[in-house]
Amino acid sequence: MSADLPVFADIEAAAARIAPYAIRTPLIENAVLNDKLDARVFLKLETLQRTGSFKFRGALNKISQIAPADRAKGVVAFSSGNHAQGVAAAAALFSIPALIVMPKDVPAAKLEGTRSYGAEVVFYDRLRDDREAIARALCEERGATLVRPFDDFDIVAGQGTIGLEIAREAAARGVKLDAVLAPCSGGGVVSGIALAIAAAIPGTRIASVEPENYDGMRRSIAAGRRVAAPGGTPSIADALMAPTPGEIPFALAHRHLTDALAVTDAELTAAVAYAARTLKLIVEPSGTAGLAALLSGRFLSSGKIVVAVLTGANCDFFAVAQACAPTRPI
């Protein structure tokens, strides 16, 4: 592919751009988790980021660069989840109209969340309509800027600021990291983090973690080119179901990832419950993938210093309670 790839300096520039607005999220430890894994595990709490997920970072990095003359024309995004809220909130900060293309059957909570930031919502039919075509048509009609969820230079650079913060915080604490694990769908966040960590702490392992059957990155890394995962039954990790990594994310991941893993839905559910019960953290199933890889032993952390990025917390609260006590009827 010929698209420009972001470099480390683009992440540093993104960090400066988002600093006035984004939360520099905490990096925490838990003694019980450390004991359990015989490791030192740091958790990067993007669950506490504005809009409840890391998506705000990339959206803000993209949207803040829209030329003043083009701002009134607005932005368009297609998403039923965290990206929608990230775009809506970032656009609102610059008084830019946001139009989000969502499926007709979007859960009420996500629709309300998106509208709460002032975005306009256009619905499509999952079976009949092509959401990307709808979004592109709306962009042409309005002269609006399309904000893609992951296959975008500025989105990847924005998500990469997580890696930069991790590297800086580890240095400030005098800690030498062995590995960083992050969830992967289209690959925007894990490839941005990989770029940052590879540059800032060379030699650190960087692992993507996907749900089984939605492991497009793992298969693509193995094949040396972008290939699709089989998909099938929906995963509990509803935000990680992109079948194929984006071009920009794959190009970076191919260069910088050292591990590409997959976890089962049972392992994700166990991680949701462990996060709530033991760590006292609300994490949506998709956001626990890195932690699930550690808890399940799919990534062996014994004796190591590792970071798991907890990417989001926008989930039905009863689903978390259910994960904690599956035998108790709700």
Residues engaged in binding a second copy (CB under 8 A): 23, 25-26, 28-31, 45, 47-48, 50, 52, 89, 276-277, 279-282, 313, 317-318, 320-321, 324-325, 328, 330
- Read off the amino acid at residue 108: A
Q: Cα(140)–Cα(20) distance, rounded to whole angstroms?
A: 31
To a second copy, the closest distance from the beta carbon of 280 in angstroms equals 4
Query: Which structure tokens are listed for 230?
Result: 């089989």
User: Mapping DSSP to helix (H, G, I), strand (E, B) and coil, where does residue 106 land?
Assistant: coil
Is the distance from CB of 161 to CB of 169 less than 8 angstroms? no
To a second copy, the closest distance from the beta carbon of 238 in angstroms equals 17
Q: Cα(122)–Cα(107) distance, rounded to whole angstroms?
A: 14
Quick count: other Cβ atoms within 10 Å of Cβ 196? 31
Of residues 202 and 318, the one with the C-beta less far from a second copy: 318
Of residues 101 and 313, the one with the C-beta less far from a second copy: 313
Q: Cα(313)–Cα(311) distance, rounded to whole angstroms?
A: 7
* Strands (DSSP E) found in 151-277: 179-183, 205-211, 259-263
Of residues 61 and 213, the one with the C-beta less far from a second copy: 61
Of residues 89 and 217, the one with the C-beta less far from a second copy: 89
Of residues 11 and 313, the one with the C-beta less far from a second copy: 313
To a second copy, the closest distance from the beta carbon of 111 in angstroms equals 15
To a second copy, the closest distance from the beta carbon of 140 in angstroms equals 33
To a second copy, the closest distance from the beta carbon of 23 in angstroms equals 7
Q: Cα(78)–Cα(191) distance, rounded to whole angstroms?
A: 21
Q: What are phi and psi of 244, to 5 degrees?
A: -130, 135
